[in-house]
Amino acid sequence: MISAIIRVRLGASMTIKLGIIGAGRIGRLHANTLTTRVPGAQAIAIADIFEASAKSAAADYSIPDYTSEPAEIINSGDIDAVVICSSTDTHCRFITEAAGTGKQIFCEKPIAFDLAEIDAALAAVADAGVQLQIGFNRRFDSNHARIKQAIDSGEIGEPHTLTIISRDPAPPPIDYIKVSGGLMMDMMIHDFDMCRFLLGEVEEIYAMADVMVDPAIGEAGDIDTATVMLRFENGAIGTIENSRQAVYGYDQRVEVFGSRGAASSGNWHPNAVTISDASSVRRNLPLHFFIERYMDSYIAEMIAFVEALTKGGTVPVVGNDGRVPVLMAMGGMRSIAEKRPVRLDEIA
């Protein structure tokens, strides 16, 4: 006869119960990841101020409970960790509150647009002795990890320059741009994190930027194209190129050049097929956007978060890793405004 039901692999001590705050695009992505791809994770509730969103996400990803009150998750005695995917202006408040109830915390980037607010939240985290991981998922991408390995192993020697090309396939809606903190805070912040991940801290930044894609973005007070030059503390020089619109799709390339060689990443495409006909030798466009391109790194960052909590280590992207890129974005914006290189210690 078919035997009795078997308990899942992970004993109680190895499982962590999570509550998700925010059921928008990124909240749903993490809901999906946590419920199907992360060993040891149990997403037991999801909150969204729009109850219908929370309800629908709960149904779609088989999450037992939902609510329109984030506080219910923060205060729940059943929940070990919160995953904060709500709008940026709520991040610091939820971090502080969750730290207050002893929750472990995962928070999406950027933490906030204001350094004082960030510093207060990080202090609350430190006081509570909980962990905070920031959602810089790209560190977990296999390309970036390979480049990091090439640096750390000495394979390419002492790094001299870093070049990041990072272009979105299309700008977000103007309404989003208005609350996004701007290109540097919303988009280039990932590249600022990548700079630090690969080559360490930055001393100085110089930026040129403009509205080239859509005048409406300029009318909303933002830029859509920006190039930045950075001087690292270790002496290396970096450049970042951002555009809100690459018509051929998401363009995500990094190159580090050093004394013994270079490591350079290309884009991923949906297939590895080349078509040759009378007009060209061609392939399909790159993976369209971050959901397609970075799905594996979203999974990997959550696996790392849950592993750190269940096994007792330190989470891999800490609060300060969330703070410094905000500072760099501020430096970049000041450089544009004042048309001069800006040292980060002018701001911090």
**Beta partners for residue 97, in sequence order:** none
Q: What is the CB neighbour count within 10 angstroms for residue 337?
A: 10
According to CB under 8 A, which residues from 72 to 91 bind its own copies?
Answer: 72-73, 76
Pick from 12, 152, 175, 281 the residue near its own copies by CB under 8 A.
Answer: 281
Choose which of 115, 120, 257, 288 interacts with its own copies (CB under 8 A): 257
Q: How far apart are CA 115 and CA 344, in angstroms?
A: 13
Residue with the two structure tokens 């791809």: 37
Could you tell me the smallest distance in angstroms from the CB atom of residue 331 to its own copies?
A: 15
Asked if 150 is part of the footprint of its own copies (rule: CB under 8 A), the reply reads: yes
The binder of its own copies chosen from 274, 311, 312, 314 (CB under 8 A): 274
Instruction: Say how far apart CA 248 and CA 228 lie, in whole Å.
Output: 22
Binding status of residue 289 toward its own copies by CB under 8 A: no
* Coil/strand/helix, residue 188: helix
| 38/92 with CB nearer its own copies | 38
Is 4 or 116 the residue whose CB approaches its own copies more closely?
A: 4
Q: Scanning residues 7 to 46, which ones bind its own copies (CB under 8 A)?
A: 7-9, 36-37, 45
By CB under 8 A, is residue 49 in contact with its own copies? Answer: no
Cross-strand partners of 243: 167, 225
Pick from 158, 201, 219, 292 the residue near its own copies by CB under 8 A: 158
Is the Cβ of residue 112 or residue 177 nearer to its own copies in the bound state? 177
- In the window 305-344, what residues touch its own copies (CB under 8 A)? 339-341
- The stretch among 22-30, 186-194, 231-239, 318-326 that binds its own copies (CB under 8 A) is 231-239
93 in contact with its own copies (CB under 8 A): no
* Gap between the Cα atoms of 243 and 297, Å rounded: 22
For every residue of 75-104, DSSP letters joined together read: H-TT-SEEEE-S-HHHHHHHHHHHHHTT-E
Is 206 a binding residue for its own copies by CB under 8 A? The answer is yes
Contact with its own copies (CB under 8 A): which of 286, 319, 322, 332? 286
Min dist CB 323 to its own copies, Å, is 25
Q: 110 vs 238, which CB is nearer to its own copies?
A: 238
Look at residues 76, 75, 105, 73 and name the one whose alpha carbon lies nearest to residue 91. 105
**Should residue 297 be labelled a site residue for its own copies when binding is judged by CB under 8 A?**
no
Q: How many residues bind its own copies (CB under 8 A)?
A: 94
Collect contacts of 244-248 with beta carbons under 8 A, ≥24 apart: 244/167, 244/168, 244/170, 244/171, 244/172, 244/183, 244/187, 244/213, 244/214, 244/217, 245/167, 245/168, 245/169, 245/170, 245/171, 245/213, 245/214, 246/167, 246/168, 246/169, 247/169, 248/169, 248/285, 248/286
**What six digits make up the tokens of 124?**
């609350």
Q: 26, 58, 326, 328: which one contacts its own copies (CB under 8 A)?
A: 58
119 binding its own copies? (CB under 8 A): no
Is the CB of 122 or the CB of 150 nearer to its own copies? Answer: 150
Check whether the bond before 110 is cis (ω within 30° of 0): yes
Q: Which two tokens mark 156?
A: 């390419």
247 binds its own copies (CB under 8 A): yes
By CB under 8 A, residue 251 contacts its own copies? yes
Tokens, residue 230 = 């950075």
Report if residue 213 touches its own copies, rule: CB under 8 A. yes
